[in-house]
A and B are shown apart, each in its own frame.
Chain A
Amino acid sequence: MSFRNLITFVFLVICLCTVQILLLKNVALFGVAFCFIYLLAILSFPINIRSFSLILISFGIGLLIDVFYDTLGLNAAAATLLAFLRPYWLKAISPNGGYDDSNNPTLREMGIGWYISYSLPLVFAFSLMFFTADQWGTGGLFGVLNKSLFSSIFTVILAIIVQLLFFKRRRGI
Chain B
Amino acid sequence: MLRILQFLYSLRSFLLFVLLEVLAISLIVSNNSPQGAAFFNSSNAVTGSILKTRSDVVDFFSLAEDNEALLSQNALLLEQLKTINAIPDSVTLELDSAFEAQYTFRGARIISNSLRFSQNHITLNKGSKDGVKPGMGVFNEQGVVGRVQSVSDNYSVAFSLLNTEMRISSKLKSNGSFGSINWDGKDSKKTKLLYVPRHVKASPGDTIVTNGFSAVFPEGIMVGTIESVDQSSDPNSLDIVVNLSVDFSKVHYVYLVENSRLAEIDSLQKQSEIENEF
Residues of A within 8 A of B (CB): 21-22, 25-26, 28, 31, 34, 50-52, 55-56, 59, 62-63, 66-74, 76-77, 80-81, 83-84, 87, 133-135, 138-139, 143
Contacts and interface: CB of A to CB of B under 8 A. Distances in A.
B27 A22 contact: no
7 contacts: A55-B17, A56-B16, A68-B112, A72-B27, A72-B31, A135-B118, A135-B185
Interface centre among B28, B40, B112 (most CB of A within 10 A): B28
Given A34-B116, A52-B13, A68 B42 contact: yes
Interface centre among A25, A72, A74, A77 (most CB of B within 10 A): A72
B85 to A, nearest CB: 43
Interface in B107-127: 112-121, 123
Contacts of A21: 50
A72 B41 contact: yes
Q: Is the interface of A mostly helix, strand, loop or mixed?
A: helix
A76 B23 CA distance: 9
Interface in B1-50: 12-14, 16-17, 20-21, 23-31, 38, 40-42, 44, 47, 50
Contacts of B221: none
A122 to B, nearest CB: 14
B164 interface: yes
Given A34-B116, A68-B42, A72-B41, A138 B164 contact: yes
A55 B184 contact: no
Contact of A70 (B23, B42, B115): B42
Given A34-B116, A76-B24, A22 B186 contact: no
Contacts of A81: 17, 21
A22 B54 contact: yes
Interface residues of B, number: 42
A52 B42 contact: no
Top 7 A-B residue pairs of the complex, sorted by shortest distance between their CB atoms: A73-B27, A73-B28, A77-B24, A70-B121, A72-B31, A51-B13, A84-B17
B157 interface: yes
B16 A55 contact: yes
Given A67-B41, A76-B27, A84-B13, A55 B20 contact: yes
Given A25-B112, A52-B16, A138-B164, 16 more contacts: A26-B115, A28-B116, A34-B116, A52-B12, A71-B31, A74-B28, A76-B23, A76-B24, A76-B27, A77-B24, A80-B20, A83-B17, A84-B13, A134-B117, A138-B118, A139-B186
Contact of B184 (A34, A74, A87, A138): A138
Given A138-B185, A139-B185, A59 B28 contact: no
Contacts, number: 107
B251 interface: no
B67 interface: no
Contacts of B38: 72
Contacts of B119: 71, 134
B151 to A, nearest CB: 14
Nearest to A130: B117
B262 interface: no
Interface in B34-86: 38, 40-42, 44, 47, 50-51, 54
A57 B27 CA distance: 18
Contact of B21 (A72, A77, A134, A135): A77
A56 B16 CA distance: 8
Given A70-B121, A80-B21, A138-B118, A55 B47 contact: no
Contacts of A52: 12-13, 16
B120 to A, nearest CB: 8
A134 B113 CA distance: 16
